[in-house]
């Protein structure tokens, strides 16, 4: 992390601590500490866990991320212990929303970027980010579904239904986008790397496509010859297209013209 990023992260952390101190609703030292960890759970991956990823890569980041999720779960159990009479569904909905955002932030730490060169050099990080984004979106969708259910039970039916439909549409389109990133982008990045070493599907397909195009043009230019015969003649590639193009000249009439008359 650069110094501007460190300063920005520290300022956001201080702002969250101030908000926690102002709006804390828990009683007791342990419950307040658990609540503070939940407030800082979103910013922690961008700070400490990002440094772990930079130092040890994905192999060191995954165990640290698992520990972070376990601590989030312990904190959720601490603050959601029955102390007022709230039911199970509100606590479960809140826990799912917190866990979903935490998983998304963990995936954001390992994101290498959208450039194919970075995807080719960090394929594991790219796949981890795509998977974390998908899992986080699904967990968040479950949390919002429970929230919409509670709002409908409370008598609010319009906005909760609109919110559920809008978020579901967003998750579907987001899933398609992530599927593209996890399949097409990884394959394209691999072919880009292979093409730089003289191999790969894209470079090997190019001559085949060129021959097929030459076949189509050659069939038109040959004027009457079959496509199979034209394929045999154009098998070499675009080099055979040149003579066919050169044959595009007006045909001479086969009728015998009379002797030219002198001037």
pLDDT reading at 41 higher than 80:
yes
What is the model's pLDDT at position 36?
A: 92
135/93 Cα distance (integer angstroms): 16
What is the model's pLDDT at position 239?
A: 46
User: What are 240-260's pLDDT values in tens digits?
Assistant: 444 444 444 444 545 544 555
The tokens for 191 are 């072919």
Domain that holds residue 155: 88-199
Domain count within the chain: 3
More confident residue, 107 or 78: 107
Q: What angle do CA 153, 157, 163 make, to 5 degrees?
A: 110
> Sorting pLDDT into bands at 50, 70 and 90, what band is 228?
low
Phi, psi angle pair for 146, to nearest 5° = -65, -40
| Range from 5-14, 38-47, 119-128, 192-201 carrying the lowest mean pLDDT | 192-201
More confident residue, 32 or 199: 32
Of 46, 81, 116, the residue at which a domain comes to its end is 81
Q: Does residue 263 lie within any of the structural domains?
A: no
Kindly state whether residues 174 and 236 are assigned to the same domain: no
* Whole-Å CA distances, 126 to 108, 117, 118, 122, 139: 10, 12, 9, 6, 20
Give residues with Cβ within 8 angstroms of 146, minimum separation 6.
89, 92, 93, 96
Q: Does residue 255 lie within any of the structural domains?
A: no
Q: Is the pTM of this model over 0.75?
A: no
CA 20 remoteness from chain centre: 33
Q: Does residue 256 lie within any of the structural domains?
A: no
Q: Does residue 166 lie within any of the structural domains?
A: yes
């Amino acid at each position: 992390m650069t110094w501007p990023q460190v300063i920005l992260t520290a300022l956001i952390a201080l702002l969250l601590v101030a908000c926690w101190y102002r709006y804390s609703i828990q009683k007791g030292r342990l419950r307040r500490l658990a609540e503070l960890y939940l407030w800082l759970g979103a910013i922690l991956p961008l700070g400490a866990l990002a440094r772990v990823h930079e130092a040890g890569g994905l192999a060191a980041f995954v165990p640290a991320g698992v520990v972070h999720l376990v601590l989030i779960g312990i904190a959720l159990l601490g603050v959601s212990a029955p102390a007022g009479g709230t039911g199970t569904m509100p606590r479960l909905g809140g826990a799912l929303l917190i866990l979903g955002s935490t998983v998304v932030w963990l995936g954001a730490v390992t994101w290498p970027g959208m450039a194919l060169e970075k995807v080719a050099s960090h394929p594991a990080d790219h796949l981890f980010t795509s998977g974390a984004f998908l899992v986080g979106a699904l967990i968040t969708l479950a949390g919002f579904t429970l929230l919409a259910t509670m709002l409908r039970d409370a008598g609010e039916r319009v906005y909760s239904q609109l919110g559920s439909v809008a978020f579901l549409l967003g998750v579907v389109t987001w899933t398609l986008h992530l599927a593209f990133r996890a399949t097409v982008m990884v394959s394209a990045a691999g072919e880009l790397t292979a093409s730089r070493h003289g191999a790969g599907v894209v470079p090997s397909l190019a001559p085949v496509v060129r021959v097929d195009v030459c076949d189509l043009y050659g069939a038109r230019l040959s004027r009457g010859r079959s496509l199979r015969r034209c394929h045999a003649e154009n098998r070499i590639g675009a080099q055979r297209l040149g003579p066919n193009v050169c044959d595009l000249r007006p045909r001479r009439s086969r009728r015998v013209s009379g002797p030219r008359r002198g001037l």
